[in-house]
Amino acid sequence: MPIGAQPPGRRGTVDQPYSALNLRLILAAFGFVVCTVLAILLFRAGWTVPGWLLLAWAVAAVVDMVVVQLRRRARRRAEGDRDHSVFE
């Protein structure tokens, strides 16, 4: 699957993107931090199964951050150094 500025076949355009990449990156980072902190607290409390589940979600958030960052770089190459708001 190629990782470009936007997945192929989507309806979004440069003016109206398919996904708000900056917002998605912020939310993934927030999810990573929250899941990691809660997992540590659960491990300390002796609840290992929920701790491992939260760590799995933290890993999924890291994967999402990597994919979003690759798409942001592809968008920057395609559009130049135009500034984007959080919702673009």
List the chain residues with pLDDT less than 70.
Answer: 1-19, 82-88
**Amino acid letter for position 73:** R
Whether the CB-CB separation of 17 and 11 falls below 8 Å is answered with no
H/E/C letters for each residue in the chain?
A: CCCCCCCCCCCCCCCCCCCCHHHHHHHHHHHHHHHHHHHHHHHHHCCHHHHHHHHHHHHHHHHHHHHHHHHHHHHHHHHCCCCCCCCC
Q: pLDDT, tens digit, for every residue of 28-44?
A: 999 999 999 999 999 99
Model's pTM, two decimal places?
0.73
- Predicted pLDDT at 76: 79
Whether the CB-CB separation of 5 and 71 falls below 8 Å is answered with yes
